[in-house]
Structure 1
């Protein structure tokens, strides 16, 4: 019997900061009460990262370019790679979120999504899976496969849909949940409660239909005409399901309006599950985090 392929298993969330700022961003996240683990430099040498790992197996990736564009000779291959990187046109903040991929399956996830999107009459296409990787500070080489929407690198609208990251090497190498202290945080965080994507009224319905195709036909929970949600799975063990929430932009909220004007529909905030007694929200260097008590 073939294995069930899930496309709604949350893998990680990407937080971008300016070039060369991974260590500074790591310190800022530590001040918010997170335990931060050094990650390493990616295989192309263009980006470096650090990780915030939760006990449910999901993690935050704190990423920055290693150098600004001006570092590279204008006619060099490195300059072309840097200026055409998927994050090159993105503002700092929550730039992307990933679901767990499934390398080596007979019918790739990209093909499954594209077939459903075509059947629904949507202008949505995921690119074929491509290899990726990075080297950890301890020298261990990690390998994975990525598929993402073909419009992923666009300035506007490239961050409303997930990409997929599937491990070729063991996921335990990429996501170090052991020793257990790696997932212990001073702020009591133990998982993701929600991701909130916001969209203008003009594209809300289309984004909802696109997400339905990405989640292999799973329709949204309609909380209201301006708020749809999908239940997500996690890679590890947990007694909760994160929610992907799609909201129409709040026209009374200047921060949301500014975000949509700059980015189009995209990931605006994340909710982190913390111990009871902690609530409210905080600002990372460039993104919003909502504290969600475990009892909520």
Structure 2
């Protein structure tokens, strides 16, 4: 209902503007004959100004209506669609203004070259973020609702600890992890795992490595667990295989190494189903391993 009202309001606004301009021109020709020639000479400037104001109002109204419609549908790409609508709307408005002003392609190119040189040097950081935002929006490699890890120039911290991870086979990515909320023209908003809203300049995003957690692709996880040395390895592997096989199709079990004189380490390498997340899947595997350990107990020494 709101969308229909907004469209009706825009149509009424356009009709009012057209009628007002026509009425003004007719009154100007009959009442102010001395000013009429000056107005006729610069009429294209008036048309361009009116088109800019009305066009901007239409673009903002359409973008707001689109945002509201997508939010009602609970779609995560609501802000993405709004920003793309604004971008292409102003591009079209720019061409309309150029046509009304009678700007030719040659003069537009010449003025854009000189102006772009000055503005580009003065606003290099701002323009870098702006055009990076346009490229991100146009390419769509980052979308709202997508879970990603951002590595590279994003400042995190030096990865020095924990020391026990030095010999781990797990992947350690010094990164910023979270869910994309909105891709804007200057900044991209991301909600990190702690629930904090992070605004990242688009130029940094474009120069960073993006690790996307795609649910459609299978991923490999590794789980390492220590068992007492007195537990029979064949029994441990057999019990683990029976516990994991009901929900994991592809996995391998290894006796990886002896951690000290009292324990040895079992390594589980498994492939996640395409519909599950890595952390949840790994948690489930580890839960089954703990159950097997509790079932076997401490495996007393054969001498006792």
TM-score range (shorter-chain normalised) is: under 0.3
Higher helix share: 2
TM-score (structure 1 length as normaliser) = 0.24
Higher strand share: 1
TM-score (structure 2 length as normaliser) = 0.23
Task: Identify the structure with bigger relative contact order (alpha carbons < 8 Å, sequence gap 6+).
Answer: 1
